[in-house]
Amino acid sequence: MLTAEQNERVTRTGPETPTGSLLRRYWQPAALVDELAGERPAVAVRLLGEDLVLYRDEGGGYALVGRRCPHRGADLAYGRLEDGGLRCPFHGWLFDGKGACLEQPAEPADSDFHTTIRHTAYPCVERNGIVFAYLGPGAPPPLPGMDCFVAPDSHSFAFKGLMEANWLQALEVGIDPAHASFLHRFFEDGDPAATYGRQFRDRTDGAEIPVTRLLREHTRPDIGVDPADHGFRITSRRDLGNQGTHVRITNLVFPNAICIPLSTDMVLTQWHVPIDDVTCYWYGLFTAFEQAVDKETMRAARLELYDLPDYRPKRGKHNNYGYDPAEQKTQTFTGMGMDINVHDNWAVESPGPIHDRTTETLGTTDKAIIANRRLLMQAIDAVAAGKAPAVTLDDVSGPVAVDTIATAGDWQAHWKQTDRARRDRSPWAKSEANK
Ligand code: FES
Ligand SMILES: [Fe+2]
């Protein structure tokens, strides 16, 4: 439970807010590269409550600039991409990607007025299908050496989806290992071969038991939360009796991402990025260790579920998430279909646009949520006091995210070995994350 003041403090992310200032110290996903396909590579972006325009410049780099023209406020999302920048259609002022005003073609020819103009502009970098932006002060930190950034394009796939609620709600679903046994319960196990690239549909590494069955039959995980360079390692163990121990290693990548196993070979790193305080996007980088990713299958499966250009789920709040009471009796715990993103969206959105945490009642399963709030509030206070947050991602690698069954011996040694073996088979990964 939080006080009303604390809840306000951790949920508001606009410019100059304490949490907004913290999130701005880290690279944040701004758009998918896919959104810049087509003849005019520019897209309006709302990020952390700021209205911006992202475009690919003539040199192939990316620029993220303020959406309102500093002259008289016209909308630069309609700007002309030309002459090394973005030109406002109203009076022709031309801005480069660093915020300089290069030309004011209606001002007197000998005027140097343009040299006095600074437009909002943020550094950008593209990696594996996502354009990341740094909205903070000073020079941006390095992009971390995490698996999702190190993996080659052939082993990566990126997608995103809209959630109509505050960013912290979305993150707190992602770091809650108990909900998978309920929210994502399927009453029957599917064929893993037919559900490529989908969460919880593969078989757990080293066992014939489908993950869906494990989660369904073992509902009380023993949850461990251990501090790590990147935030927290979250361990959920399910005792399978004489079949061993199911071990699932997930991660909080501070301050607003998770890294979780998706299948035996694939890991999902997912950011929860505020659009504003009542909507957010999840951005996912799917990283495969061994097999190159079948991007077309991954993309086609998701395009069936989302409407572009907003990446709005086809099943959502607007149509009661497709809720079907008959299905809820016979097929799924939610009655909301087989796509777990729909289930998660319901869990994220149904407490309301900004969950009132003064009325909640946390239990044993909320360990990681409690630990994260403590870390988050400390980091917010540190940044507000002009200090560095306790967790920076500059030197972070990995993190390890596996789903496996330890049949004998030390379960801690087993998951580390599972990860090491996967890296040894991988054409690109290093084993350093295990050290
Ligand atoms: S409003 Fe943009 S150039 Fe005048
Ligand atoms: Fe979930």
Confirm or reject: Cβ of 69 under 6 Å from ligand 1.
Answer: yes
Give residue for tokens 């969206």. Answer: 345
Dmax (CA) for the chain in angstroms is 85
pLDDT at residue 201 greater than cutoff 80: no
Predicted pLDDT at 434: 44
Domain boundary among 86, 102, 133: 133
List b or e across 366-394, with b for residues whose CB sees 16 or more CB atoms inside 10 angstroms.
bbbbebbbebbbebbeebeeeeebebbbe
Does residue 192 carry a pLDDT above 90? no
Residue 193: is its pLDDT beyond 50? yes
Q: Is the dihedral of CA 222, 225, 230, 231 positive or negative?
A: positive
* 416 to 63, 83, 153, 335: CA distances (angstroms): 40, 53, 26, 37
Tokens of 308: 């572009």
For the CA of 74, the nearest atom of ligand 1: 1
33-88 pLDDT per residue, tens: 999 998 999 999 999 999 999 999 988 999 999 999 999 999 999 999 999 999 99
Same-domain check for residues 289 and 153:
yes
Model confidence at 404: pLDDT above 50: yes
Q: Is 172 left (phi over 0), alpha (psi -120 to 50) or beta?
A: alpha
Instruction: Give the least confident one: 67-71, 215-219, 346-350.
Output: 215-219
Q: CA 220: distance to chain centroid?
A: 27
Confidence (pLDDT) at 195: 64
Q: Identify the CATH number of the domain in which residue 80 sits.
A: 2.102.10.10
pLDDT tops 80 at residue 191: no
Are 257 and 405 in a shared domain?
yes
Residues 346 and 394 in one domain: yes
Q: Which helix (H) or strand (E) holds 363?
A: none
Lookup: tokens for 159: 């997608």
pLDDT score of 206 more than 80: no
Residue at 9 is within a domain: no
**Mean pLDDT score, 311-335:** 97
Q: Report how far ligand 2's centroid is from the alpha carbon of 68 (Å).
A: 37
The H or E element that residue 272 is part of is: strand 266-274
Cα of 126 from ligand 1 centre, angstroms: 29
Q: Residue 94: what residue type?
A: L
Position 11 pLDDT exceeds 90: yes
Residue 374 domain-assigned?
A: yes
Per-residue pLDDT, 408: 77
If asked whether residues 232 and 378 sit together in one domain, one would say: yes
Residue 243: which pLDDT band, with cuts at 50, 70 and 90? confident
Give the percent of the chain with pLDDT over 90: 88
* Token pair listed for 273: 């990025």
Angle at 258 between CA 15 and CA 256, to 5 degrees: 10
Nearest 5°: the CA angle 5, 166, 337 is 140
Closest CA to 199 of 220, 187, 219, 184: 184
Which of 133, 161, 179 is a domain's end point? Answer: 133
Contact 213, 226 (CB under 8 A): no
The total of structural domains in the chain comes to 2
Domain carrying residue 67: 40-133
Give 138-170 as a DSSP string: SSPPPPPEEHHHHS-GGGEEEEEEEESS-HHHH
Is residue 331 domain-shared with residue 364, that is, in the same domain?
A: yes
218, 122: one domain: no
Q: With a 6 A CB cut-off, is 95 part of the ligand 1 pocket?
A: no
Range 406-428 average pLDDT: 92
Could you tell me if 64 and 182 lie in one domain? no
Q: Is residue 32 part of a domain?
A: no
**Contact 71 CB / ligand 1 (< 6 Å):** yes
Task: Judge if 227 and 347 occupy the same domain.
Answer: yes
Confidence at residue 66, expressed as pLDDT on a 0 to 100 scale: 98
Is residue 59 located within the same domain as residue 111? yes
Predicted TM-score (pTM) above 0.85: yes
pLDDT tens, residue by residue, 256-274: 999 999 988 999 999 999 9
In a domain, 416, yes or no: yes
Q: Are residues 126 and 149 in the same domain?
A: no
Q: Is the CB of 91 under 6 A from ligand 1?
A: yes
Q: Which ligand is nearest to the CA of 173?
A: 2
Q: Residue 86 is which amino acid?
A: L
Are both 79 and 122 inside the same structural domain?
A: yes
pLDDT at 355: 98
Residue 18 lies in a domain: no
Q: Give φ, ψ of 74 to 5 degrees.
A: -65, 160
Domain co-membership, 79 together with 188: no
Q: Does the residue 6 lie in any domain?
A: no
133, 153, 173: which is the final residue of a domain? 133
**Mean pLDDT over each residue of the chain, to the nearest integer:** 94
Out of 71, 83, 117, mutate this one to test ligand 1's pocket (max ligand atoms within 8 Å of CB): namely 71
Residue nearest (by alpha carbon) to ligand 1 atom 4: 91
* Per-residue pLDDT at 435 exceeds 50: no
Of 68, 76, 91, 95, best ligand 1 pocket probe by most atoms within 8 Å of the beta carbon: 91
Tell whether 4 is covered by a domain. Answer: no
| Ligand with an atom nearest the CA of residue 175 | 2
288 lies in some domain? yes
Question: Which secondary structure element, helix H or strand E, spans residue 44, and what is its range?
Answer: strand 42-47
Mean pLDDT of 154-164: 98
Residue length of the chain = 435
- Asked whether 164 and 353 are in contact (CB, 8 A), the reply is yes
Q: What whole-number distance in Å separates Cα of residue 300 and Cα of residue 295? A: 8
Answer whether 13's CB lies under 8 Å from 167's CB: yes
What is the 3-state secondary structure of 196-241?
A: CCCCCCCECECCCCEHHHHHHHCCCCEEEEEEECCEEEEEEEEECH
Residue 106 has pLDDT above 70, yes or no: yes
Q: For strand 397-398 and strand 145-146, is the pairing parallel, antiparallel, or unpaired?
A: parallel
